[in-house]
Amino acid sequence: MSPTPTRTLHRRGFVQAGTAAALAALGAPLVARAQATMTFKWANNIPITHPSNIRVKEAADAIKAASGGKVEIQIFPNNQLGGDTDMLSQVRSGAIDIFPLSGLILQTLVPLAGINGLAFAFKDYPTVWNAMDGELGAFIRDAIGKVGLHSFDRILDNGFRNITTSTKPINSAADLQGFKIRVPVSPLWTSMFKAFGAAPTGINFAEVYSALQTKVVEGQENPLAIIEIAKLYEVQKYVSMTGHMWDGQWILANGRRWNSTPADVQALITKHVTEAVMKQRDDIRRLNNGLEAQLKAKGMVFNYPDAKSFRDALAKAGFYAEWRGKFGDAAMAKLEKYSGKLG
């Protein structure tokens, strides 16, 4: 069957006027074919009710409308296509097109991507966004580009992480001695909790609820939004507000798929995904501020440990020195421009 004649999308009203003007300014060719429907599989590890999915669904709807139904983003939430480790393989092979992933889990493939997880690096959100939307983020995205993945510029917020347990509150690093805790599958996470003196096990998020329920582990650590949305309050009692690190998800696309996507479609997707990320950050900030009261109402017990014993344990175990060596001086200089001297 011979293909129908090619038409540029703007002639069909495919691209909104604003986008077309922006593309013209960039000198980008409008090369997409009006007859082809493009479908992108977007997969992740969290329930559809999480702002990451709500906002991406809005972006997908906007992209579909703006493209006259030609560009479709299908969302597969909640580990439907596998756990994080598996989805990372799939986005590399092209079985999944777009996959948001914690930089610390991506670290198994891009060692530098774990750097923002260095314990207590960021004192607050303004510092996080200055770093991740600034030179540190650009440095990390460069490294991601080298393994054949495209990273969108803006990273999704996951949040500052806190420890939950089924057995006792964690008041200081001493309470973590020998403590069986789940961490995501990531060298930095495992190293951090070993340095605290705990007994960490790397488990994908897909198995966290059942690992807590069956007491394979006594605790885990996550931002409040995840604790609420994944219903971890059903299997955990205490929340210790350690805020030991900030974590976000880079939105990764299979490089071959992305590079073979017409420039106007790339621009359309990028515009809406970026808007979704900025709204998602706002949602998470508001959620994490309001959730404490809600989780208390569900029976969770909160405590607010001082960071000092945790920092001291890390310093004593040589955690910062070890990771400074692994990340290298150039990368540490990018981080410390925002965090101040670590360790």
Interface with ligand X2X by CB under 6 A: which residues? 45-46, 102, 158, 184, 205, 222, 226, 247
Beta carbon of residue 153, minimum distance to ligand X2X (angstroms, whole number): 20
Beta carbon of residue 28, minimum distance to ligand X2X (angstroms, whole number): 33
What are the DSSP calls for 155-214, one per residue? PEEEEE-EEEESS----SGGGGTT-EEEE-S-HHHHHHHHHTT-EEEE--GGGHHHHHHT
Nearer to ligand X2X, 19 or 222 (CB): 222
Nearer to ligand X2X, 182 or 271 (CB): 182
* Rounded Cα–Cα distance for residues 264 and 262 (Å): 6
Beta carbon of residue 336, minimum distance to ligand X2X (angstroms, whole number): 24
Residue identified by tokens 């219903």 is 231
Nearer to ligand X2X, 19 or 164 (CB): 164
Beta carbon of residue 226, minimum distance to ligand X2X (angstroms, whole number): 5
Beta carbon of residue 252, minimum distance to ligand X2X (angstroms, whole number): 13
Mark 207-229 as b/e (b = at least 16 C-beta within 10 Å).
ebbebbeeeebbbbbbbbbbbbb
Tokens standing for residue 285: 């900030």
Sheet containing 162-165: which strands, arranged edge to edge?
199-202, 180-183, 219-222, 162-165, 238-240, 301-303
Contact 127, 339 (CB under 8 A): yes
Nearer to ligand X2X, 226 or 252 (CB): 226
Beta carbon of residue 165, minimum distance to ligand X2X (angstroms, whole number): 15
* Rounded Cα–Cα distance for residues 206 and 211 (Å): 10
Nearer to ligand X2X, 157 or 247 (CB): 247
Beta carbon of residue 101, minimum distance to ligand X2X (angstroms, whole number): 7
Beta strand 38-43 with 71-76: parallel, antiparallel or unpaired?
parallel
Nearer to ligand X2X, 67 or 158 (CB): 158
Nearest residue relative to ligand X2X (C-beta):
205
How many CB atoms sit inside 10 A of residue 171's CB? 15
Beta carbon of residue 119, minimum distance to ligand X2X (angstroms, whole number): 15
* Rounded Cα–Cα distance for residues 77 and 283 (Å): 18
Q: CB under 8 Å to 118, separation ≥6 — which residues? A: 188, 245, 320, 323, 335, 339, 342
Query: Nearest CA to 238 among 306, 171, 301?
Result: 301
Contact 143, 200 (CB under 8 A): no
Nearer to ligand X2X, 230 or 276 (CB): 230
Nearer to ligand X2X, 162 or 222 (CB): 222
Q: CB under 8 Å to 216, separation ≥6 — which residues? A: 180, 182, 201, 203, 210
